C-alpha cells in the first residue's frame, strides 16, 4: 500500500472510503473451494480496469485437494512481484487463518469465515479482524447445498465491495467463465456474487478505491504464462504439436489441442513422452517446426530423442515447464533445477539452444523466438519456463498480431548437387530440402542418429565425426554472435550485480529498486539466452565488486547453483557467487535483499 494503509473501520456508522495505489490480497482455503477462481477473476478484472497485476498460487499435488492459496497484487503503477506481505487475508478455515496470519503486514486486515474460524486473542491485538459468516450466508443466497458450493463467488462479491471494484465487469467475467454450461450454474454464481457484493458492511471495515491508472482497457491482455507461451507458438507458425499430460505442462498441451485446429493444425496426445517428441521431430522433418513439451521426469524421457534431433539437425521446440524434483518431486511447486539437463542432458556432445522467458509477456515473445531459431539454425530449442511463470497471471500490452503472426512454409525447392549436411559453410547451417528429394548422383539423403557424411549416409570415419561435431557446435557459435546483449537494470557500475534467469526477474528488479532508493549501488542483469550465452557477457561483470546469481535450485557440492556454475566455468571469475534455495516457493523481495546483504558483508 502506498497512499493509504488498509485498516478495519473503528468509527460508527457507514464505512469510509480511502484512496490507494496498490493492494496485496491473499486468499487461503482448500483447493476444492475454488480459491484459484477468486484470484483469477480479480486478476483478470484488474487487467481490464487499467491496472497492473501479478499473482502467485500454491495448490496441493494430491487429487483429493487440500490447503491452497492465491495471492494477487493489484496496482495502478508498475507491479514487479506478487508482494512480500498481504494487506488483506481472506481465510476460509482455521488452518487457513493460523497458517497465513503471519503473511499479513502490521495492522493488516484478516477477513475470515466466522462459521469455521475462531480468532486468536493475541492476533486480534496485532491485526484487524473482520468476521463474516460466509458459508451460511452463501447457503442462504443460493438455496443451500451440502458442501457450501459458491462461497468462493460470495467472497469475490465481498472483495468487490470492499475495494469498490467494477461489479458489472466482474459479472461479465463470471458469464464468460460459465458460458456454454447449464444456465442454472451461471445463475447460482451470479446470485452468490450479488449477495456478497450487497452485504451490509456497516462499520466493520473501511472501503477502498484504487487511484487512477495509466493503462487503457483496449491495450492490455490478461493471461498466465502457459497461455502466453502457447499463443506465442501459434503466432510463430507452429501447426503441429504432440505431448503427454504432466503438471504443469498440461495446460499448454490442452490449449494447443483446442486452438491449433482453428489454424489448420493439430495436436496429438500420445501414449508416452518418447512417442510425442518423435512425432514432433517427424513434423519438423516434414517441413513445419513441431513442438512438444513436458515437466519433471517427462523431460528425462525425452533426452534420447532430443539427441537424435541434434544429430539429424532437425528443428524442434521442446517446452520444459520446471517443477520441484528429482523424480516425481513436488509437481505443483516451483524450482529452477532443470537448467543442467536443458543445457547438457543426454549422452555425447549434443549442443542445443536454451531460452528462458522472464515473465508472462516474455513467454509469448520467447516462444516466437524459439520457433525462429529452431527454423533458421535447424536445431532443437529448449524453452525453459517454470511453475511460477506458468500459473501466475499478468496484464501486458496486446501484441500486434498483424505484424507478428507467421505462417511459414519453408522453401524446399530442390537444389542441384545439394548436400543436406554440407561442411562448406563455416556457420554450420545447411539449407533444408523436402523429404525424398534426389540430391546427388541418384542418391537420396538419409536421416539417422548415426554419425553421417554430408548426404546423411552413416559413416565410421573419425575425421568426419570430428568435422560434423564442429559443424553442430559452430551453429550455436554463429547464433551467439547475433544475440542481443542483456540490459543492465540500474547502473553499469556499482557494488553488487544480481544475476537472474526465469521467473526471478520481477522480485530481483524490485529488490534493486528498494536498495537504490536507500542509496545502495546495486544493479541486476537478467539472462534469457542461456545456451549459448550472448557474446561479451563478462563485460557486464567488470563494473561490479560482487556478482550474485539468484536461483531457485540447490547450491550443490561446491556452493554454486546451476547458472552460477555455468557462468563460473565460462568466465573463470571468482567474484561470481550463488544465492540458492529449493523450498518450492518463489523469492520474496526482502528475502533477496537480506541474503545478498549477508553474503557480501
DSSP labels, 551-600? ESS--TTTT--HHHHHHHHHH--TTEEEEE--SSSPPPHHHHHHHHHHHH
- Give yes or no for a contact between 545 and 576, defined as CB atoms under 8 angstroms apart: no
**Distances 252 to 248, 379, 531, 575 between C-alpha atoms, Å:** 8, 22, 23, 39
The pTM of the full predicted model, rounded to 2 decimals, is 0.93
Mean pLDDT, range 473-493, rounded to an integer: 96
pLDDT confidence tier of residue 418, bands split at 50, 70 and 90:
confident
Domain residue spans of the chain: 17-215, 222-404, 412-482, 488-600
Distance CA 110, CA 162 (A): 13
Provide the edge-to-edge strand list for the sheet that holds 316-322: 266-269, 240-243, 290-294, 316-322, 380-386, 353-355, 529-531
Closest to 374 measured CA to CA, from 447, 318, 422: 318
Distance CA 177, CA 196 (A): 18
Q: What is the DSSP letter of 339?
A: H
- Give yes or no for a contact between 287 and 352, defined as CB atoms under 8 angstroms apart: no
Closest to 310 measured CA to CA, from 409, 448, 483: 448
Concatenated DSSP letters for 514-552? Answer: HHHHTT--EEEEE-SEEESPPTTTHHHHTTEEEEEEEES
- Give yes or no for a contact between 552 and 335, defined as CB atoms under 8 angstroms apart: yes
Mean pLDDT, range 316-323, rounded to an integer: 98
**C-alpha cell recorded at residue 538:** 563478462
pLDDT for 253 beyond 80? yes
Closest to 386 measured CA to CA, from 430, 323, 326: 323
Report the pLDDT value the prediction gives residue 8, as an integer from 0 to 100: 47
**The domain 488-600 is classified under which CATH number: 3.40.50.1370, 3.40.50.300, 3.30.530.20, 3.40.50.920?**
3.40.50.920
pLDDT tens digits, one per residue of 527-539: 999 999 999 999 9
Q: Is 107 left (phi over 0), alpha (psi -120 to 50) or beta?
A: left
The set of residues, in sequence order, having a beta carbon less than 8 Å from that of 255 and lying 6+ positions away, is 226, 227, 230, 231
Orientation of helix 167-177 relative to helix 183-197, angle to 10°: 160
Mean pLDDT, range 311-332, rounded to an integer: 96
**C-alpha cell recorded at residue 440:** 546427388
Residues linked to residue 56 through DSSP beta bridges, in sequence order: 71
SS3 per-residue string spanning 375-431: HHHCCEEEEEEEHHHHHCEEEEECCCHHHHCCCCCCCCCCCCCCCCCCCCCCCCCCC
**C-alpha cell recorded at residue 116:** 469455521
pLDDT for 15 beyond 70? no
CB atoms within 10 A of CB 254: 16
Same fold, 222-404 and 488-600: yes
pLDDT confidence tier of residue 4, bands split at 50, 70 and 90:
very low
**The domain 222-404 is classified under which CATH number: 1.10.760.10, 3.40.30.10, 3.40.50.970, 3.40.50.720?**
3.40.50.970
pLDDT for 412 beyond 70? no
Closest to 52 measured CA to CA, from 208, 214, 224, 169: 214
* Secondary structure of residue 239 in the 3-state scheme: coil
- Give yes or no for a contact between 449 and 308, defined as CB atoms under 8 angstroms apart: yes
pLDDT for 7 beyond 80? no
- Give yes or no for a contact between 249 and 211, defined as CB atoms under 8 angstroms apart: no
CATH number of 17-215: 3.40.920.10
HSE-CB of 196 using CA atoms within 13 angstroms:
36
pLDDT for 32 beyond 90? no
Report the pLDDT value the prediction gives residue 437, as an integer from 0 to 100: 76
Closest to 359 measured CA to CA, from 328, 333, 393, 326: 393
HSE-CB of 298 using CA atoms within 13 angstroms:
27
* Secondary structure of residue 577 in the 3-state scheme: strand
Flag the least confident range among 20-24, 203-207, 213-217, 550-554.
213-217
**C-alpha cell recorded at residue 199:** 452485504
**C-alpha cell recorded at residue 527:** 539472462
Report the pLDDT value the prediction gives residue 11, as an integer from 0 to 100: 36
Report the pLDDT value the prediction gives residue 408, as an integer from 0 to 100: 65
Closest to 272 measured CA to CA, from 308, 298, 306, 305: 298
Across 490-504, b (16+ Cβ under 10 Å) vs e yields beeebebbbbbbbbb
Mean pLDDT, range 208-222, rounded to an integer: 73
Q: Locate cell 553499469: which residue?
A: 492
Report the pLDDT value the prediction gives residue 119, as an integer from 0 to 100: 97
Closest to 295 measured CA to CA, from 254, 353, 250: 250
Q: Which residue has the higher pLDDT, 277 or 11?
A: 277
CB atoms within 10 A of CB 41: 24
**C-alpha cell recorded at residue 3:** 497512499
- Give yes or no for a contact between 380 and 374, defined as CB atoms under 8 angstroms apart: yes
pLDDT confidence tier of residue 55, bands split at 50, 70 and 90:
very high
pLDDT for 456 beyond 50? yes
Amino acid at each position: 500500500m502506498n497512499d493509504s494503509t488498509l485498516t478495519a473501520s473503528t468509527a460508527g456508522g457507514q464505512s469510509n472510503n480511502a484512496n490507494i495505489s496498490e493492494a496485496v490480497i491473499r486468499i487461503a482455503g482448500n483447493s476444492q473451494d475454488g480459491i484459484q477462481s477468486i484470484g483469477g477473476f480479480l486478476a483478470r478484472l484488474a487487467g481490464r480496469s487499467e491496472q497492473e497485476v501479478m499473482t502467485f498460487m500454491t495448490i496441493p499435488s494430491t487429487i483429493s485437494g487440500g490447503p491452497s492459496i492465491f495471492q494477487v497484487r493489484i496496482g495502478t503503477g508498475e507491479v514487479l512481484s506478487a508482494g512480500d506481505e498481504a494487506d488483506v487475508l481472506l481465510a476460509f478455515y482455521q488452518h487457513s487463518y493460523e497458517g497465513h496470519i503471519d503473511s499479513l503486514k502490521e495492522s493488516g486486515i484478516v477477513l475470515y469465515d466466522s462459521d469455521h474460524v475462531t480468532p486468536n486473542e493475541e492476533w486480534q491485538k496485532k491485526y484487524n479482524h473482520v468476521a463474516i459468516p460466509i458459508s451460511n450466508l452463501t447457503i442462504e443466497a443460493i438455496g443451500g447445498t451440502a458442501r457450501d458450493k459458491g462461497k468462493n463467488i460470495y467472497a469475490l462479491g465481498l472483495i468487490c465491495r470492499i475495494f469498490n471494484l467494477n461489479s458489472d465487469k466482474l459479472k461479465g467475467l463470471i458469464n464468460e467463465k460459465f458460458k456454454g454450461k447449464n444456465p442454472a450454474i451461471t445463475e447460482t454464481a451470479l446470485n452468490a456474487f450479488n449477495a456478497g457484493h450487497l452485504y451490509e458492511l456497516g462499520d466493520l471495515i473501511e472501503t477502498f478505491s484504487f487511484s487512477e491508472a495509466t493503462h487503457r482497457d483496449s491495450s492490455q491482455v490478461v493471461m498466465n504464462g502457459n497461455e502466453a507461451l502457447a499463443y506465442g507458438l501459434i503466432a510463430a507458425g507452429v501447426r503441429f504439436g504432440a505431448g503427454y499430460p504432466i503438471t504443469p505442462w498440461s495446460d499448454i498441451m490442452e490449449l494447443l489441442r483446442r486452438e491449433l485446429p482453428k489454424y489448420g493444425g493439430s495436436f496429438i496426445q500420445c501414449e508416452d513422452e518418447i512417442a510425442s517428441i518423435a512425432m514432433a521431430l517427424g513434423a519438423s522433418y516434414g517441413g513445419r517446426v513441431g513442438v512438444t513439451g513436458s515437466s519433471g521426469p517427462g523431460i528425462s524421457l525425452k533426452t534420447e530423442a532430443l539427441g537424435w534431433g541434434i544429430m539429424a539437425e532437425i528443428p524442434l521446440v521442446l517446452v520444459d515447464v520446471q517443477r520441484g524434483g528429482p523424480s516425481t518431486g513436488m509437481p505443483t511447486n516451483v524450482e529452477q533445477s532443470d537448467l543442467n539437463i536443458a543445457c547438457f542432458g543426454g549422452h555425447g556432445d549434443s549442443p542445443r539452444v536454451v531460452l528462458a522467458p522472464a515473465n508472462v509477456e516474455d513467454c509469448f515473445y520467447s516462444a516466437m523466438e524459439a520457433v525462429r531459431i529452431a527454423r533458421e539454425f535447424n536445431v532443437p530449442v529448449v524453452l525453459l519456463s517454470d511453475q511460477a511463470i506458468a500459473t501466475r497471471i499478468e496484464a501486458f500490452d496486446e501484441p500486434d498480431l498483424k505484424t507478428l503472426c507467421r505462417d511459414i512454409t519453408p522453401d524446399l525447392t530442390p537444389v542441384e548437387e545439394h548436400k543436406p549436411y554440407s561442411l562448406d559453410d563455416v556457420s554450420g547451417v545447411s539449407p533444408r530440402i523436402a523429404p525424398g528429394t534426389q540430391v546427388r548422383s541418384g542418391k537420396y539423403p538419409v536421416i539417422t542418429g548415426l554419425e553421417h557424411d554430408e548426404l546423411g549416409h552413416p559413416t565410421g570415419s573419425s575425421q568426419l565425426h570430428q568435422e560434423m561435431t564442429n559443424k553442430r557446435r559452430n551453429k550455436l557459435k554463429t547464433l551467439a554472435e547475433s544475440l542481443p546483449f542483456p540490459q543492465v537494470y540500474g547502473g553499469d557500475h556499482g557494488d553488487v550485480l544480481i544475476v537472474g534467469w526465469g521467473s526471478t526477474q520481477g522480485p530481483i528488479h524490485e529488490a534493486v529498486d528498494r536498495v537504490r532508493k536507500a542509496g545502495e549501488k546495486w544493479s541486476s542483469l537478467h539472462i534469457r539466452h542461456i545456451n549459448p550465452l550472448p557474446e561479451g557477457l563478462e563485460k557486464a561483470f567488470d563494473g561490479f565488486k560482487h556478482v550474485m546469481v539468484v536461483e531457485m535450485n540447490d547450491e550443490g557440492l561446491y556452493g554454486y547453483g546451476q547458472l552460477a556454475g555455468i557462468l563460473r566455468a565460462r568466465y573463470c571469475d571468482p567474484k561470481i557467487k550463488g544465492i540458492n534455495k529449493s523450498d518450492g516457493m518463489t523469492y520474496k523481495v526482502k528475502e533477496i535483499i537480506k541474503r545478498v546483504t549477508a553474503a557480501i558483508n
